[in-house]
Chains A and B, each alone.
Chain A
Amino acid sequence: MLLKTKLKSSDKLSMLQMLALCPALAVTTTISRSVAIAGALLISLTLSAVLVSALRKMIPAKLRMPVYLLISSFSVSIVYLIMRAIFPVAVTALGIYLPVLAVSCVMVMRLETFSALNMPGPAAVDGLITGVEFGAIMLGCGFIRELFGTGCLLANPFGHGGWQIFPAAPVSFLVHPAGALLLIAVWAAIFQYIQIRGEKKAVENPDTM
């Protein structure tokens, strides 16, 4: 019930949020890496959302940014230590991008605009949903970049093994950083196109809305 109302009222992924995703996009060259970074984002975002909303009455308004950053960096540290114990390979492959999640715009934006104003329950749900939304984009990116950039699927985080789908890399350009940006640009354009079409429809027949 809560989930449904949240899904309906949740502001759609805005374009600026797409941009906020960029640092994490640098590592989404394969599906396995995307899963690792998306999982880390999901868990640490949910954790820090719950913490911020539980402490929201104790955080002075003037000091809120440092406190949010501190909470998010602690939750990312926790996720980092857990991941290092369970999947050491994934931590090596993600390198500096795992700690950098703590200061990413996604995190701070969600904490400031939602968690700081709501009870821990809804904040946790919001964190989960945002994590899943971003995770879906990252997974899509990882899938396209791995399939067309290397010609394989489901290689390990260092790019070895996996099923050979194409005999050679069809669009090896996609593995490069510029390829990721171009992919995200097309993705954002598709979102915008759908939005524009929706608005046009709403103007043409306002009764159905």
Chain B
Amino acid sequence: MEYVLLLLAAIFTDNFVFTRFLGIEQSFISSEKPSSAVRGGGLVTAVSFVGGGLTYLLYIFALSPLKISFLTLPIGVLLVTAVVAGMEAAVKNSTFEETLRAQIPMLTTNAIIIGAVFLAIEQKLNIGAAFLLFLGAGIGYTLAALVFASIRERISHCVPPAAFAGIPIMITAAALAVMAFSGFAGLHF
């Protein structure tokens, strides 16, 4: 039960995009249509789960006992890049390749993955909980990208003041979405 609540908390109350602003730029840029937002979110979830999980396992079993935990950041970045490259090789010559290739810069520079690893280290989570946190971070990102994509679709039908046109009105709308999500903060599981 505790684990289910941890997952729900990572998706709603402590959503990485809305409460911590991690990966917010990627969820803005990649969310042109709701469908592409979901696809990108699925990829981020996969990379976060595998790459983040590998980094955390390495931290628990190798870096922390050997007292070289200062290397966590470079090793985590490398592992995430390696996982993305592996995924790219796996889907080669399939219909999925095009989608993945467009998302690669969003994946390797996504702050959610590294942020989730360091959050797990900071809170000293056990391995199962950490994996759930990485999964929840990815699903929360997908949710946020979906919200932003829907907002974007609505905004494209409006005519905002010239000074607000483009990015500023998007950020304003995002601020309102963040405010709506802060309503979840009252939930204590």
Chain A residues near B (Cβ < 8 Å): 15-16, 18-20, 22-23, 25-26, 65-66, 69-70, 73-74, 76-77, 80-81, 95-96, 99-100, 102-105, 108, 176-182, 184-186, 188-190, 192-193, 196
Contacts and interface: CB of A to CB of B under 8 A. Distances in A.
Q: Is the interface of B mostly helix, strand, loop or mixed?
A: helix
B173 to A, nearest CB: 9
A90 B171 CA distance: 28
A26 B163 contact: no
Q: Is the interface of A mostly helix, strand, loop or mixed?
A: helix
A103 B107 CA distance: 10
Interface stretch (B22-30, B34-42, B89-97, B151-159): B22-30
A100 B118 contact: yes
Given A96-B115, A102-B77, A69 B168 contact: no
A23 B167 contact: no
Contacts of B76: 73
Contacts of A176: 179, 182
Contacts of A25: 21
Given A66-B108, A102-B73, 19 more contacts: A15-B167, A15-B168, A18-B167, A19-B167, A19-B171, A23-B21, A23-B24, A73-B73, A77-B70, A80-B70, A95-B122, A99-B73, A100-B22, A104-B109, A176-B179, A177-B18, A178-B178, A182-B175, A192-B162
B73 A76 contact: yes
Nearest to A71: B74
